[in-house]
Amino acid sequence: MSVHRLKKLPSSEPVSSFENQGVPLKTALLDTTLNLNSPKTHKTIVFPQQQNTEKLITRLQIECEGEKAHKQHLLQTFNAMKYIKTIRPADPSQLEAKKIILPKRKKTKKTLVFDLDETLVHCCSNINQADVIIDIKMPNGEFMKCGINIRPYVHECLLAANINYEIIIFTASHRCYADTVLDYLDPTHELIHHRLYRENCIVTDNLYIKDLRILDNRKIEDIVIVDNAAYSFAYQIDNGVPIISWYSDPNDKELFNLIEYLGVLSNFKDVRVANRRMFHLHTFYNDYLHEFTMENKENTVIVSQ
């Protein structure tokens, strides 16, 4: 998560405790005292004489992968913001047909919508490289094996978010796949309260968009959506938290760092105010293009000298 430097906010605003430096969640948020010992954290035993070298190599590998993921995230967000400008408005009749009424939630809680794939889990093309292999029952009754990787700190994040939010998983995947994965992640159905699928998406320009207006009895200012694909929340940009896509990195801490930001959002009467100040997604395309142009000009001047 991260896109642009924050403007200085008055100290009375909860979000002013964050200084977004155009970096992922792991460095955009303040250090916390939460438990860092995720079940997904693996320790490697090495001999004493190897420790310094091994630690250095590991640190460099992590930093390299982190920088690569961050650059890809910025590029994906840039392209998404560019494309969003061309997306047609939702068809009113389709939107009306998609609307649903959810059970009442506590007035003190807001609504948190999570994407599934590349946000919480990753479906592996090679099941031999997967963390977990699950059997998915297809609509025709046949079973298919599917390998998934589970993002570090998924359970910690869901557990912490439950304090201030009702949790909805909104995926563009098919129901048979999503339900099997979610039943594995939350077998008691205590962490995730509602599930929405591909059939709940608004289809526009061959895209499956998660239009939050389908939640007919939820106020838009109370809804947060976390998704690795920014175009997924194209119709409600200011409700979105664009998180870095995840595939297999065991050192990823985006969900861990998200916990603190969700706590900040829960204190806002309108979550869009905080997101607008944190991410600047409405101006991200122009800002990113301007920064890229200025950087190239500076490099050109240096070379010419």
* Residue closest to 246 by CA, chosen among 233, 230, 258, 228: 228
Whether residue 225 is contained in a domain is answered as yes
Whether residue 43 is contained in a domain is answered as no
> Whole-model pTM?
0.75
pLDDT: which is higher, 30 or 56: 56
Residue 66 is predicted with a pLDDT of 54
Number of domains in the chain: 1
Whether residue 6 is contained in a domain is answered as no
Whether residue 198 is contained in a domain is answered as yes
Whether residue 44 is contained in a domain is answered as no
* Residue closest to 194 by CA, chosen among 248, 272, 291, 113: 113
Whether residue 1 is contained in a domain is answered as no
Residue 38 is predicted with a pLDDT of 35
pLDDT in tens, 82-134: 778 888 999 999 999 999 999 998 888 999 999 999 999 999 999 999 999 99
pLDDT in tens, 229-276: 999 999 999 999 999 999 999 999 999 999 999 999 999 999 999 999
pLDDT in tens, 131-153: 999 999 999 999 999 999 999 99
Provide the pLDDT confidence category of residue 291 given band limits of 50, 70 and 90: low
Whether residue 3 is contained in a domain is answered as no
Is the distance from CB of 180 to CB of 134 less than 8 angstroms? yes
Residue 293 is predicted with a pLDDT of 64
109: left (phi over 0), alpha (psi -120 to 50) or beta: beta
CATH code of the domain in which 146 resides: 3.40.50.1000
Catalytic positions? 115, 117
pLDDT in tens, 54-66: 554 444 444 445 5
> What residues make up the domain containing 60?
14-28+51-304
One-letter amino acid of 290: H
- The per-residue pLDDT of the chain, averaged, comes to 79
Encoded tokens for 169: 């998983």
Whether residue 66 is contained in a domain is answered as yes
CA distance 59 to 63: 6
Q: Give the count of beta carbons closer than 10 Å to the beta carbon of residue 233.
A: 28
CA distance 99 to 202: 10
Q: Is 170 exposed, middle or buried (0-12, 13-18, 19+ CB in 10 A)?
A: buried
Residue 53 is predicted with a pLDDT of 46
